[in-house]
Amino acid sequence: MPDSPDFYSEFWRALERRIHREWFAITLFTLALSIVLSLNSERTWLASFDRTFYDSVLRAKPVATPGDEIVIIAIDDSSIQALGPWPWRRSIHAQLLDYLVDARSVGFDIVFSESHPDFPQDDHTLAHAIARHGRVILPTVIDGRGVDLFRPVPRMAQAAAGIGYINVYPDTDGTVRSLTLKRQPEDGSEVQHFIVSLAGESIIREPPADQRLLIPYTGRAGGFSFYPYAAVLRGEVPPDKFRNRIVLVGAWASGMGDNYPTPMTQEGESMSGVEIMANGLLALQNDSWIRTLSPWAAALLGALPVLAACLGLRRFSPRHAFIATLAIVVLWPSISAVMLVKMNVWIPFSATLITIALAFILWTWRSQEASMQHIDRELQTLRRIAASDMEANGMNSSYDRSLPARVRLLHQSVVRFRQAQQKREETLRFLSNDMRAPQNAILAMIEMQCRESQHADSELLERIRQRAMDTLELMDGFVHLEHAEVTELKLRAIELCDLLREACDESWELASRREIDVATVQLPDEAWVKGDRALLKRVLQNLLDNAIKYSPDGTEVRCSITRESDYFLVEVADQGRGIPPDQLEAVFDSFTRLEADRPGNANGAGLGLAFVRTTIQRHGGTVFARSEQGHGSSFFIKLPVSDN
């Protein structure tokens, strides 16, 4: 029957299974997509979104002053105006080294890969100055293919305390955010960065090879102490400004082409390469690089918010799911920003946000589609049941399939259901009141006739009385079954042993007429369940009444309660004729009476056990029977244990 409780239970179970499958598929898909996007984000447009956010947070981050341990001697416009066009003679750099004799180390961000064609003797002069100083670092350059090195001229390289490549590798947007401190060219050798050679033994942690380290810039361009090259050479800067400090010498002039955009620069500004080196050198000395997780660790971490969003979509209402999803979308970038500001750890998040948004869209689509398909199924069932009436109300099979149209049809179905429910309640009231009154009147008149007339046909009156009693019992059973199906349960803690004793006491009169003993043979100290006391008491009375009706005179009905794991098992056993094995399940169906035409069979409407099954199922329990023909029957109910 399409309007039976089993039908609707299966309907909702099927919908729940469908929704769960859709959610599980969406969750697996979005988790996998989040990981794939995260692993490949550097090669997609997602990287530009992450970088924009990264730059904004880095600019807003409070920065510490770089101090004066690193000093820059700048080849600026004023120095070029004073010393002549670039490149200068290398003897000028030799003079500068003689002035920086007290510096801890000196790093030239100037490539000396070829001899000066006009003044070849200057190479010898500069090489001697480098050797005299003893703490000079010279740069090399890795070619664009990453294969060859452009090294300093041999005599300078031999005199230098160390060499290192000065290459910087901007991101795809041209911004320098990181440095790679060790590279391995194709010849298999390992070369280190210029700043690694310059830092020397002050390095706290050995830098990894071929890993890009994000630079924690100290601020916008000009944050370090710097002095014009010409001013230092003229002696205008006291020598103690360089004592025991690391000195970087490099291009600063706007026309020398050694300027790059950085996260700290805005509106077309740039930062000189030598100042980028200074920022990297400071991070290397303090081990203050902005850390990044390994690709797989970042991908798995980014999948966690996706999983949280999917769980929220499954458990929350649409409004709360939207709010929860929006909260995660806002919270995850905030966490990333806090990690960057407070812990110098950068976690890209754009792949996570894109996946969460996609999960919300997919879930909205698939959950609505699944729900509407099940609504369609129910509407089709209703159309089959009442096709003519539905066509009269515009509910024909050619309706459009939009959500508003389906909601309209569902509303019409709900109206019909409410009307049917109202008619059902009216029928129950009619059976409970209007039909009972005539039957009671018939019984009263029969009783009066029997008392007043000595010649009344007692057999006829007895038959009329019996049919009237059967009709009353049928109406009572029907009304009780309907109440068990639709009445709201009044759940409270019930002590089952006391309830069974009360039911046994109320069955005493019926049992005593036939000399049947009703005994409780096994009861625990306490058996607490949660349920509707009135309904559960009627369940026990129905089982006891059936056991007494179908037991021979002078026998015994035995009742017991035992505990099985999380359930209490109530047994009511009789010593009647038993039930055939193939009919044990059928006895719980409505209007089922076994061997109803058998002479001497007990009267009944066949609704008592249907009431028992319906009530116990609504209490989260089960009911079943065991029987052996000729040796009686046992009826069992299982109810969940409850704390009192």
Q: What is the mean pLDDT of residues 603-611?
A: 66
Whole-number pLDDT of residue 137 = 93
Model confidence band, residue 275 (pLDDT cutoffs 50, 70, 90): very high
Same domain (yes/no): 447, 302: no
CA angle at 582 for the pair 581 and 587, rounded to the nearest 5°: 90
Residues 6+ apart with CB under 8 A from 326: none
Whole-number pLDDT of residue 32 = 96
- Whether the predicted pLDDT of 605 surpasses 60: no
Q: Check residues 219 and 130 and name the one with the higher pLDDT.
A: 130
- The model's pLDDT over 1-43, given as tens digits with 9 standing for 90+, comes to 444 444 455 666 777 888 889 999 999 999 999 999 999 988 8
Model confidence band, residue 388 (pLDDT cutoffs 50, 70, 90): very low
Model confidence band, residue 485 (pLDDT cutoffs 50, 70, 90): low
Q: Check residues 351 and 441 and name the one with the higher pLDDT.
A: 351
Whole-number pLDDT of residue 397 = 46
Beta bridge partners of 395: none
Asked whether 229 and 75 are in contact (CB, 8 A), the reply is: yes
Asked whether residue 423 is domain-assigned, the answer is no
Same domain (yes/no): 472, 497: no
Rounded to an integer, what distance in angstroms lies between the CA atom of residue 485 and that of residue 637?
17
Whole-number pLDDT of residue 419 = 62
Same domain (yes/no): 453, 506: no
Beta bridge partners of 138: 163
Beta bridge partners of 492: 531
pTM for the complete prediction? Answer: 0.64
Asked whether residue 44 is domain-assigned, the answer is no
Asked whether residue 149 is domain-assigned, the answer is yes
Asked which of 292, 312, 330 is the last residue of a domain, the reply is 292
Same domain (yes/no): 564, 584: yes
Host domain of residue 207: 58-292
> How many domains does the chain divide into?
4
Asked whether 250 and 271 are in contact (CB, 8 A), the reply is: no
Asked whether residue 53 is domain-assigned, the answer is no
Same domain (yes/no): 240, 362: no
Asked whether residue 401 is domain-assigned, the answer is no
Preceding peptide of 87 cis, ω within 30°: yes
Rounded to an integer, what distance in angstroms lies between the CA atom of residue 218 and that of residue 451?
114
- The model's pLDDT over 491-529, given as tens digits with 9 standing for 90+, comes to 889 999 999 999 999 888 888 988 899 888 888 888 999
Beta bridge partners of 562: 569
Same domain (yes/no): 542, 635: yes
Q: Which residue has the tokens 């059902």?
A: 424
Which among 555, 554, 571 is positioned nearest to 626, based on CA atoms?
Answer: 571
Same domain (yes/no): 33, 99: no
Whole-number pLDDT of residue 410 = 64
Lowest mean pLDDT among 144-158, 210-224, 344-358, 616-630: 144-158
Same domain (yes/no): 77, 165: yes
Same domain (yes/no): 86, 202: yes
Asked whether residue 433 is domain-assigned, the answer is no
Asked which of 353, 380, 407 is the last residue of a domain, the reply is 380
At 330, the amino acid letter reads: V
Asked which of 455, 486, 517 is the last residue of a domain, the reply is 486
406 to 126, 237, 335, 395, 609: CA distances (angstroms) = 88, 85, 43, 10, 40
196 to 206, 209, 224, 279: CA distances (angstroms) = 9, 12, 19, 13
Asked whether 31 and 359 are in contact (CB, 8 A), the reply is: no
Model confidence band, residue 599 (pLDDT cutoffs 50, 70, 90): very low
Long-range contacts made by residues 14-22, C-beta under 8 angstroms, separation at least 24? 14/374, 15/370, 15/371, 15/374, 18/370, 18/373, 18/374, 19/367, 19/370, 19/371, 22/363, 22/366, 22/367, 22/370
Whole-number pLDDT of residue 392 = 44
Same domain (yes/no): 526, 598: yes
Same domain (yes/no): 31, 15: yes
- The model's pLDDT over 125-157, given as tens digits with 9 standing for 90+, comes to 999 999 999 999 999 988 766 656 788 889 999
Same domain (yes/no): 171, 186: yes
- The model's pLDDT over 171-216, given as tens digits with 9 standing for 90+, comes to 888 899 999 888 876 666 778 889 998 987 767 677 666 688 999 9
- The model's pLDDT over 39-95, given as tens digits with 9 standing for 90+, comes to 998 888 888 999 999 999 998 888 778 888 899 999 999 999 999 988 899 999 999
Model confidence band, residue 490 (pLDDT cutoffs 50, 70, 90): confident
Give the whole-number percent of the chain exceeding pLDDT 90.
35
- Whether the predicted pLDDT of 569 surpasses 80: yes
Asked whether residue 398 is domain-assigned, the answer is no
CATH number at residue 538: 3.30.565.10
216 phi-psi bin (left φ>0, alpha ψ -120 to 50, beta other): beta
Asked whether residue 399 is domain-assigned, the answer is no
